[in-house]
Amino acid sequence: MASDIFSALADPTRRKILEMLADYDELPASEIHNQFQVSPQAISQHLKILREANLVHVEKRAQQRIYRINTEAMVQLEQWSQSMRQRWSRRLDALEAVLKAEMRKNANAQNEQEESE
Amino acid sequence: MASDIFSALADPTRRKILEMLADYDELPASEIHNQFQVSPQAISQHLKILREANLVHVEKRAQQRIYRINTEAMVQLEQWSQSMRQRWSRRLDALEAVLKAEMRKNANAQNEQEESE
DNA sequence: TGTTTTATAAAGTAAATACTTAATTAAAAA
DNA sequence: TTTTTAATTAAGTATTTACTTTATAAAACA
């Protein structure tokens, strides 16, 4: 996992930037900035963090910097939540196995009792 | 989305706590603390943040506080990444439609040319 | 009851974060 | 070539964060 995807996603401005990029594919920094009330420098700093987390790609086009979302990095986020689910269900499977074993044991005990009656 | 799930997940200690809870279902604060090098107070503060983000549940048991993961909140994280994927693919679908329309147009142009030949 | 266990709350601090303004870079246009 | 456009980097600042130590709470145990 690219070191701090989660820190990068912690900021609502950066999440909104990613959502914009998911909707529009490619956007120059200036257009991203238009959607917010803060300075272009502030947005540039957010974009730098998104770049460093490998959540976006940049391409130079004349004076512009064109940003795109990096879907691979987004996949990593999904993988983390999936791995959480797997840990969770692996535990549930183990619990289920124990419960089934318990049920068999009870069923056997029941049978033995019936046989002795 | 319970306001700052993402901020709660930004800290590696808190993510590790969640992973522990995913593996072990229920754990008292003291056992969680055992896995880390920081003070119990520091862990208590992390647990508070996880509680406020609704990522965990607590149950009092004698002096202990028993923590469990709240799977509903984890689902919200998956929903966000899924919604990102949806935005992304909705855009791809639209692009595909445009491309298909282009192809039809070209095919028609081709036909008309053949007819005139 | 007084003491121990388990945990949290409160107060203080160093480092990180999200902004600002000022300065710099580099391509395009006049 | 000078100016404009688009964006970044640098420097400074207020707030937030992640810890610490100290103090408090509440159940269990002697």
Per-residue pLDDT at B115 exceeds 50: no
A42 within a domain of the structure (yes/no): yes
B96 within a domain of the structure (yes/no): no
Determine whether the distance from the CB of B39 to the nearest atom of strand D is below 7 Å.
yes
Contacts of A19 in chain B (CB under 8 A): 84, 87
Q: Summarize pLDDT for B3-46 with one digit per residue, the tens.
A: 599 999 999 999 999 999 999 989 999 999 999 999 999 999 99
Q: Summarize pLDDT for A33-70 with one digit per residue, the tens.
A: 999 999 999 999 999 999 999 999 999 999 999 999 99
Q: What is the pLDDT of residue B16?
A: 97
Determine whether the distance from the CB of B63 to the nearest atom of strand D is below 7 Å.
yes
B116 within a domain of the structure (yes/no): no
B80 within a domain of the structure (yes/no): no
B43 within a domain of the structure (yes/no): yes
Residue of B9, B91, B96 to mutate when probing chain A, most A C-beta within 10 A: B9
Domain of residue B16, CATH code: 1.10.10.10
Q: What total of structural domains would you count in chain B?
A: 1
| Choice between B114 and A58, residue whose per-residue pLDDT is larger | A58
A76 within a domain of the structure (yes/no): no
A111 within a domain of the structure (yes/no): no
Residue A46: give the domain boundaries.
Answer: 5-71
Q: What is the pLDDT of residue A115?
A: 47
Residue of A24, A50, A80, A92 to mutate when probing chain B, most B C-beta within 10 A: A80
Q: Give the span between the Cα atoms of B98 and A58, in whole angstroms.
A: 25
